[in-house]
Structure formats: structure tokens, C-alpha cells
């Protein structure tokens, strides 16, 4: 079945129930609302800007966009690029494209004009839908890309080189366009995060998307009464595929624009959120804000919050130990996945396995996993190898890249590029990205292992370990360390702490600086290598 059937079902069963809420605490001023169905809450001048739509309206908006596309000659197999910040329009546009058999192509909101053009060319995008934040970037390339593409604009003040999506869609039918779809039809093209190079275009069909819905609900048991707080960007598989648990169950989701600790806690309280997916830095920031007294939990309604889960990066066990002390009633889970496996869940810890925090878990619902050598042979338990996964959520291919597809997909197995090992109980632990392994004096160093150790230092907020060139050893480990606010820490402090590590694993360089992460929480290690290769060490940092 195509994933669009879930939306149709929800509109029929839960039509009058709220499906999506948009909260933007950073916007205080009034602005005109173009969708009559939106609700603007202004009773309290301090209340964040809030909009909401029901499942019925969600489905109608998707149908209107689908019919708009058909009226412009867009057909099954064409591609619709989506370049929007998280907003209420995002998901109806996504599903509108899917309803006519077109492929949705979400784009990273951090892309430069050049990267936008590269991606729309690579994915052969036929229509680009973009928002106000991207007018300048799209204008730079508009003359080139508009020759063969339609440009639709979402928001106020439509630029002259685009057409106004809101006005056009409002005049289109709200009825289902009636295009016949199957689970084998292509559905979406996602782009890899680019942490190991320039983004690749990842093709998925409807079967992949549907399987991610089934995986999410199987792992976290969403019902129509759950409320999911969605903070990460919707262009990425992580946020969207966790939201798929709401889609399959008919539950409400809250799209929060903002990651400040108090903003998150307020949203959970105001909207009665039951499930929150966080990235490691956000969880860390929330706990630190509570410790500093900036957040008084007694002032918020949080009893309904039942599950906090984390993904997109290795999770320090010390962080979860802290979290459980503050929120002892919370269930906790972590999910491993990548865009090539339609996001989270191909491996997951499971809420019942809190004693195994630090592991990414076991194969998820409907998935298989193995740890292999470069030749594809399974390694012995406890040995390090490349993690491979297999299941209905594996990508069809890297779009227009046969070579990369052949290197990654072998006999139905997806070679993830992540190095891992399995313990005696069958739980899988990430060791590092294959391309991030440091070979120092003939020894393989796995940065994630060193990072996990360093996060145990009470002064460290975040850390990244990379390999830098060295004449004698080939490479050395360098630790880029971000210190907690108001804490002083020196290179000598870190070196003393690292005496507990085997000598060959100790970082040779300590660099105090911010650790850059992309919007999905992954450390941008290529950027760090570019910045720090050959640069001098800053030996002391104080943040006040």
C-alpha cells in the first residue's frame, strides 16, 4: 500500500482531531494568516505564535496541492523539491506530491545557492517549493533553474521570479486526485547528510516509507492519544520517520521552531506532549539549565511525558544516567538508522533495555543486521567490522549513481559505513564511521570510543575526535572540546583525565573550541579536519 493511505484513513477516522500544531516562540509580532483554518492564539501577549490544522484539513491541503501539480502538467515520476523551514505547510506539500505519484525531494535548509542547484540538478527536480528564508539563495540561481522548472513560493511577499503557492492551491479541488499507486512506486529522494563528502541522492519507494511507519509504532507504541514533539528539521528522515508513528496512529504532532531548553519544556507542558525525540546536545542543555536553576520543573505540567528517545549519534551512558535521575518515570530508547535505511529503527535499543545504554541495540522490527569484513564475511562476536542491515526499508539506489549503489548495496544488504561490534548478549555497539577511523602508528583508533570516555569529564559539554596528519605516526588523535558554561578547564586537566585511557588512545592534541554539528546532530568532522589540520592548539578556555 502507498503511505498516502494512512492520511486518507486519518481524515476519515479522526477528521476533526488536531493533526499538526506549529509553535514558533521566537515570533511575537502579528502577521496575516493565509489559511483560514489556522488558529492564532493571542489572548496572552507572551504566548508563542501557534497554528494548527485537523486531519481533515491536512488531507484537503494535500489534495489541493496534488491537483495544482496536475493542473501544471506534473505527472507520476516527476520530482517536487521542498525547501522550507519546519512549518504547517511542509507535510501537506510533501503528501500532495506523493498523492499524484510524484517524488518528494526534501532539501537541507542550510544549503547554499550552489548546493541547492547541485541537488535539484542531481535529483532532476521539476518543481521547487521554497519559503521566505530562501528568497535570496533561490534568486541567485532562479534564472538558471527556472528555465525548465516551476518555482512555487510559500509565505508573504512572493518574489517576481516565483508563483504564489497559497493563492494557487486555494483555487484547486480538495478532492483526492485518484491516481493509482502501489508500494513499489518511487516516493521520495532524500540527500545524505554529507558528513563524509558531498550529498548523495537516496531513492526510496512507498514500501520503504510504510515500513518506517510500522517500525516506529512497533518500537514506541503510539496511539491516537499520544502527542509527539517534533523539533529536528523535516527535510531529514530522522524527524519525519519518528513523526510517522503519529501518522499511522492518528496522534497529534507539535512542530516546534526553537531548541532552547526552556522552549522545549514549555512546549511539552503547554501541548501535553507524551513523546519527545531529542539530540544529545539538546538533552545536555536541558539538564544543564535545570542544574543552573533556569528551569523549575515544578512550574510545568510534565506528568504525561512518557518517552524520551535519542538518535542520529552515539549516546553517552552518563547523559542518560543524569536524565533518569531528573526524570525517573521516563521510558528511554535510542534508535540507529541512516537515510539509506529510511531513517531510525533498523537497529534500536528498546525501552526494556535501559541497562544496555551505550549500545544502539538489536535489529529493529522487520530488520536483519550483521557485522562484516570488507569482503562481506561475518566477523566473530566481539570483533570490529562494518555494520550491514537488510529489510523493507533499504533504499532502492543512489539516484543516478550506479557506482556508489554497487559499493553500498550487496545482495540486498546495505553496508552502512559504520564500524561496530556485538557483545555476548547480541547487542550492537557503534565504534565509529569507517572513514573516520584513525590509523596511528599502525593502531586503529575509533574516535567514538575516545569521545565517549572524554564526555565523562564533568567540565566537558561536547567533544569530537579527529585524525590529523603526523610525520612519525601517520595520524594522531586530536580532541576538539567544548567546555560547559562558567567552567574553567585546561589542557593539563584533560591530559590528566586521559591517563585512564591506554596510551595509544590518548589524544595527542587538545583543542578548546565549539563542536560544529549539522541540523540532525551529527558532528561535522570534514569541517573540523579542514579547520584544524596544521593549526596551533588553544591550550585553555574559560566560558563565562
Q: State what percent of residues in the chain have pLDDT above 70.
A: 90
3-state helix, strand, coil in the chain (%, to 5): 30, 30, 40
Decide: helix, strand or coil at residue 266. helix
Q: Tens digit of pLDDT for each residue in 304-340?
A: 999 999 876 667 788 899 999 999 999 999 999 989 9
Per the prediction, the chain carries an average pLDDT of 88
Q: Tens digit of pLDDT for each residue in 345-389?
A: 999 999 999 999 989 999 999 999 999 998 888 999 999 899 999
Decide: helix, strand or coil at residue 411. coil
Question: Where in the chain are all domains bearing CATH 2.30.38.10?
Answer: 306-433
Burial class (CB in 10 A: 0-12, 13-18, 19+), 469: exposed
User: What is the C-alpha separation between 127 and 108, in angstroms, rounded?
Assistant: 16
Residue 472 has a pLDDT of 64
| Cβ neighbours of 41 (radius 10 Å) | 13
User: What is the C-alpha separation between 204 and 189, in angstroms, rounded?
Assistant: 6
pLDDT at 82 over 50: yes
Closest CA relative to residue 348, chosen from 340, 337, 371: 337
| Cβ neighbours of 180 (radius 10 Å) | 8
CATH 3.30.300.30 is held by the domain 437-542: yes
Residue 194 has a pLDDT of 55
Residue 43 has a pLDDT of 40
For Cα atoms 438, 444, 448, give the angle at the middle one, nearest 5 degrees.
65
More confident residue, 529 or 133: 133
| Cβ neighbours of 182 (radius 10 Å) | 11
What's the sign of the alpha-carbon dihedral 150, 151, 155, 157? negative
Beta bridge partners of 317: none
The DSSP code for 412 is T
Q: Tens digit of pLDDT for each residue in 410-456?
A: 999 999 988 899 999 999 998 867 677 787 766 678 787 888 889 88
Q: Domain 306-433, what architecture?
A: Roll (2.30)
- Fold assignment, 4-258: Rossmann fold (3.40.50)
Helices (H), 409-537: 447-454, 491-497, 525-532
What is the end-to-end Cα distance of the chain in Å, rounded? 55
Question: Where in the chain are all domains bearing CATH 3.30.300.30?
Answer: 437-542
Residue 541 has a pLDDT of 38
pLDDT at 519 over 70: no
Kindly state the cell numbers that stand for 183. Answer: 508500494
pLDDT at 249 over 50: yes
Residues near 442 by Cβ (< 8 Å), separated by ≥ 6?
none
In 423-518, at which residue ranges do the beta strands (DSSP E only) sit? 428-433, 438-440, 443-445, 460-470, 474-483, 488-490, 509-512
Residue 169 has a pLDDT of 96
CA distances from residue 434 to 59, 191, 376 in whole angstroms, order as listed: 42, 19, 15
pLDDT at 392 over 50: yes
Which of 173-187, 256-270, 421-435 is least confident? 421-435
| C-beta separation of 368 from 378 below 8 A | no
Residue 26 has a pLDDT of 67
More confident residue, 2 or 32: 2
Helices (H), 250-367: 261-271, 280-291, 317-326
**Residue with C-alpha cell 547554499?**
112
**Residue with C-alpha cell 573516520?**
436
The DSSP code for 85 is -
Question: Where in the chain are all domains bearing CATH 3.40.50.12780?
Answer: 4-258
User: What is the C-alpha separation between 369 and 109, in angstroms, rounded?
Assistant: 32
The residue-averaged pLDDT of 8-34 equals: 79
- CA 484, distance to chain mean position in Å, is 25
User: What is the C-alpha separation between 466 and 451, in angstroms, rounded?
Assistant: 10
- 242 falls in which pLDDT band (50, 70, 90)? very high
The model's pTM: 0.82
Q: Tens digit of pLDDT for each residue in 113-152?
A: 988 999 999 999 999 999 999 999 999 999 988 887 899 9
The DSSP code for 499 is G
User: What is the C-alpha separation between 452 and 463, in angstroms, rounded?
Assistant: 9
Amino acid at each position: 500500500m502507498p503511505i498516502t493511505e494512512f492520511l486518507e484513513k486519518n481524515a476519515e477516522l479522526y477528521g476533526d482531531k488536531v493533526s499538526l500544531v506549529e509553535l514558533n516562540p521566537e515570533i511575537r509580532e502579528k502577521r496575516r494568516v493565509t489559511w483560514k483554518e489556522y488558529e492564532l492564539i493571542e489572548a496572552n501577549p507572551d504566548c508563542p505564535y501557534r497554528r494548527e490544522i485537523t486531519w481533515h484539513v491536512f488531507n484537503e491541503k494535500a489534495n489541493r496541492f496534488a491537483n495544482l501539480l496536475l493542473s501544471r502538467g506534473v505527472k507520476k515520476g516527476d520530482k517536487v523539491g521542498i525547501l522550507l523551514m519546519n512549518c504547517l505547510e511542509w507535510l501537506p506539500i510533501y503528501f500532495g506530491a506523493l498523492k499524484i505519484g510524484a517524488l518528494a525531494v526534501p532539501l537541507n535548509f542550510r544549503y547554499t545557492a550552489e548546493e541547492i542547484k547541485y541537488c535539484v540538478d542531481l535529483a532532476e527536480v521539476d518543481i521547487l517549493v521554497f519559503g521566505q528564508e530562501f528568497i535570496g539563495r533561490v534568486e541567485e540561481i532562479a534564472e538558471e533553474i527556472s528555465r525548465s522548472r516551476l518555482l512555487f513560493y510559500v509565505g508573504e511577499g512572493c518574489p517576481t521570479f516565483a508563483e504564489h503557492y497559497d493563492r494557487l492551491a486555494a483555487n484547486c479541488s480538495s478532492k483526492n486526485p485518484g491516481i493509482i499507486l502501489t508500494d513499489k512506486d518511487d516516493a521520495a529522494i532524500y540527500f545524505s547528510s554529507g558528513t563524509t563528502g558531498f550529498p548523495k541522492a537516496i531513492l526510496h519507494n512507498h514500501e520503504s516509507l510504510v515500513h518506517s511507519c510500522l517500525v516506529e509504532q512497533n518500537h514506541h507504541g503510539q496511539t491516537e492519544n499520544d502527542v509527539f514533539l517534533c523539533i529536528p528539521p523535516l527535510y531529514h528522515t530522522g524527524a519525519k520517520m519518528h513523526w510517522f508513528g503519529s501518522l499511522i496512529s492518528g496522534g497529534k504532532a507539535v512542530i516546534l521552531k526553537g531548541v532552547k531548553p526552556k522552549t522545549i519544556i514549555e512546549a511539552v507542558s503547554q501541548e501535553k506532549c507524551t513523546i519527545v525525540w531529542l539530540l544529545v546536545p539538546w538533552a545536555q542543555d536541558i539538564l544543564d539549565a535545570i542544574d543552573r536553576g533556569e528551569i523549575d520543573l515544578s512550574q510545568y505540567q510534565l506528568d504525561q511525558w512518557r518517552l524520551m528517545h535519542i538518535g542520529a549519534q552515539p549516546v553517552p551512558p552518563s547523559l542518560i544516567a543524569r536524565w533518569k535521575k531528573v526524570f525517573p518515570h521516563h521510558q528511554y530508547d535510542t534508535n540507529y538508522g541512516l537515510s539509506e535505511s529510511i531513517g531510525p529503527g533498523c537497529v534500536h535499543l528498546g525501552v526494556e533495555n535501559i541497562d544496555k545504554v551505550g549500545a544502539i541495540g538489536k535489529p529493529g522490527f522487520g530488520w536483519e543486521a550483521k557485522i562484516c569484513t570488507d569482503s562481506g564475511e561475518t566477523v566473530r562476536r566481539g570483533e570490529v567490522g562494518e555494520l550491514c542491515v537488510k529489510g523493507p526499508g533499504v533504499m532502492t539506489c543512489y539516484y543516478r549513481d550506479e557506482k556508489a549503489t554497487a559499493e553500498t548495496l550487496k545482495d540486498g544488504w546495505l553496508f552502512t559505513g559504520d564500524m561496530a561490534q556485538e557483545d555476548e548478549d547480541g547487542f550492537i555497539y557503534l565504534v565509529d564511521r569507517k572513514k573516520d577511523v584513525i590509523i596511528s602508528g599502525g593502531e586503529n583508533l575509533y574516535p567514538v570510543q575516545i569521545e565517549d570516555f572524554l564526555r565523562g569529564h564533568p567540565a566537558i559539554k561536547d567533544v569530537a575526535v579527529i585524525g590529523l596528519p603526523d610525520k612519525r605516526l601517520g595520524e594522531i588523535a586530536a580532541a576538539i572540546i567544548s567546555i560547559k558554561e562558567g567552567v574553567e578547564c585546561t589542557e593539563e586537566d584533560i591530559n590528566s583525565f586521559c591517563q585512564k585511557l591506554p596510551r595509544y588512545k590518548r589524544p595527542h592534541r587538545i583543542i578548546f573550541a565549539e563542536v560544529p554539528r549539522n541540523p540532525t546532530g551529527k558532528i561535522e568532522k570534514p569541517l573540523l579536519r579542514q579547520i584544524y589540520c596544521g593549526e596551533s592548539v588553544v591550550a585553555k578556555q574559560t566560558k563565562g
